[in-house]
Structure 1
Amino acid sequence: HCLLVKTQSLVGAASTCPSLCTCSNQASRVICTRQNLEEVPESISVNTRYLNLQENSIQVIKSDTFKHLRHLEILQLSKNQIRQIEVGAFNGLPNLNTLELFDNRLTLVPSHAFEYLSKLRELWLRNNPIETLPGYAFHRVPSLRRLDLGELKKLDFISDAAFVGLINLRYLNLGMCGLKDIPKLTALVRLEELELSGNRLEIIRPGSFQGLVSLRKLWLMHSQVSVIERNAFDDLKNLEELNLSHNSLHSLPHDLFTPLHQLERVHLNHNPWVCNCDVLWLSWWLKETVPSNTTCCARCHAPPFLKGKYIGELDQSHFTCYAPVIVEPPTDLNVTEGMAAELKCRTSTSTTSVNWITPNGTLMTHGSYRVRISVLHDGTLNFTNVTLRDTGQYTCMVTNAAGNTTATAVLNVTAADVSVNYTYFTTVTVETVDTVGGNDYALVAINETFIHVPPGPTPSDLWPDGVATTDSSLPISWSSSSPRATRPTFTEPITDPTLMDDVMKTTKIIIGCFVAITFMAAVMLVVFYKLRKQHQLHKHHGPARAIEIINVEDELGAGASGRGSGISGGATVTQSGKINYKESLSKYIKKKNTHTVVLVPPTPLPSPPPPYYFPQLGTKWPL
Structure 2
Amino acid sequence: MKLLMLLTFMALAEFDYQRRSAHSCPDLCACTFSLSAAEVVCGHSSLTHFPITGLLPNITRLSIQATNLSSITASHLSAVPLLNYLQLYYTNLASLPSELLGVLPHLDTLDLTGNQLVELPPNFFSHASLRNLVMKSNQFKKAEASWFPTNSSLTWLDFSRNHLTSISAALLQKLPHLQILDLSDNILQDLQADTFRNLHHLETLNLAGNKLTSLKPTTFANNLKLKQLFLQENQLKELPATLLQSLQHLEFLLLNQNKLQHLPIGLLDGRKPSFRTILTGNPWECEGKMEYLWKWLTINPQNVLFQEEITCVSPETLKHYQVASLNETQLGIKSQIL
Relative distance call for 1:202 and 1:219 in structure 2 (3 A) is same
Q: In structure 1, what is the equivalent of residue 7 of structure 2?
A: none
Relative distance call for 1:292 and 1:23 in structure 2 (3 A) is closer
Q: Residue by residue, what CA displacement relative to the aligned partner does 1:80-104 show, whole Å, maximum 9, x if unpaired?
A: 1212211221233233222110111
Match of 2:44 among 25, 31, 34: 34
Q: Give the Å deviation of 1:60.
A: 2.7
Q: In structure 1, what is the equivalent of residue 8 of structure 2?
A: none
- Matched position secondary structure for 2:249: coil
Report if aligned partners of 2:152, 2:176 keep a CA contact under 8 Å in 1.
yes
Runs of 4+ in 1 over 4 A off after TM superposition: 11-15, 259-263, 291-294
Q: Give the counterpart letter for 1:59 in structure 2.
A: S
- Matched position secondary structure for 2:197: coil
Tell me whether 1:148 sits opposite 2:171 in the alignment: no
Match of 1:105 among 86, 91, 116: 116
Q: In structure 2, what is the equivalent of residue 196 of structure 1?
A: 207
Tell me whether 1:316 sits opposite 2:316 in the alignment: no
Q: Structure 1 residues 205-214 or 254-263, which shifts more?
A: 254-263
Match of 1:167 among 176, 188, 191: 176
CA distance in 1, matches of 2:239, 2:309: 17
CA distance in 1, matches of 2:312, 2:187: 29
Q: Give the Å deviation of 1:261.
A: 5.1
CA distance in 1, matches of 2:151, 2:21: 32
Q: Give the Å deviation of 1:111.
A: 5.2
Report if aligned partners of 1:189, 1:211 keep a CA contact under 8 Å in 2.
yes
Q: Give the counterpart letter for 1:29 in structure 2.
A: E
Match of 2:281 among 259, 270, 274: 270
Tell me whether 1:82 sits opposite 2:74 in the alignment: no
Q: Give the Å deviation of 1:187.
A: 1.3
| TM-score of the pair, normalised by structure 1 | 0.47
CA distance in 2, matches of 1:270, 1:106: 34
- Matched position secondary structure for 1:113: coil
Tell me whether 1:18 sits opposite 2:26 in the alignment: yes
- The answer to which structure, 1 or 2, has the higher relative contact order (CA under 8 A, 6+ apart) is 2
Q: Residue by residue, what CA displacement relative to the aligned partner does 1:447-496 show, whole Å, maximum 9, x if unpaired?
A: xxxxxxxxxxxxxxxxxxxxxxxxxxxxxxxxxxxxxxxxxxxxxxxxxx
Q: Give the Å deviation of 1:48.
A: 1.6
Report if aligned partners of 2:166, 2:189 keep a CA contact under 8 Å in 1.
no
Overall identity of the aligned pairs, in %? 28
Q: In structure 1, what is the equivalent of residue 222 of structure 2?
A: 211
- Matched position secondary structure for 1:172: strand
Relative distance call for 1:210 and 1:136 in structure 2 (3 A) is farther
Q: In structure 2, what is the equivalent of residue 232 of structure 1?
A: 243
| TM-score of the pair, normalised by structure 2 | 0.83
Relative distance call for 1:297 and 1:73 in structure 2 (3 A) is farther
Q: Give the Å deviation of 1:199.
A: 0.7
CA RMSD of aligned residues (A): 2.8
Q: Unaligned stretches of 5+ in structure 2?
A: 1-15
Relative distance call for 1:14 and 1:139 in structure 2 (3 A) is farther
- Max Rg structure: 1
Q: Give the counterpart letter for 1:309 in structure 2.
A: Y
Report if aligned partners of 2:28, 2:42 keep a CA contact under 8 Å in 1.
yes
Q: Give the counterpart letter for 1:80 in structure 2.
A: T
Tell me whether 1:253 sits opposite 2:264 in the alignment: yes
CA distance in 2, matches of 1:139, 1:300: 49
Q: Give the Å deviation of 1:163.
A: 1.0
Matches within 5 A, 1:349-388: none
Matched positions, count: 314
- Matched position secondary structure for 2:40: strand
Matches within 5 A, 1:317-466: 317-321=329-333
Q: Unaligned stretches of 5+ in structure 1?
A: 1-7, 323-400, 404-623
Q: Give the counterpart letter for 2:203 in structure 1.
A: E
Q: Give the counterpart letter for 1:316 in structure 2.
A: E
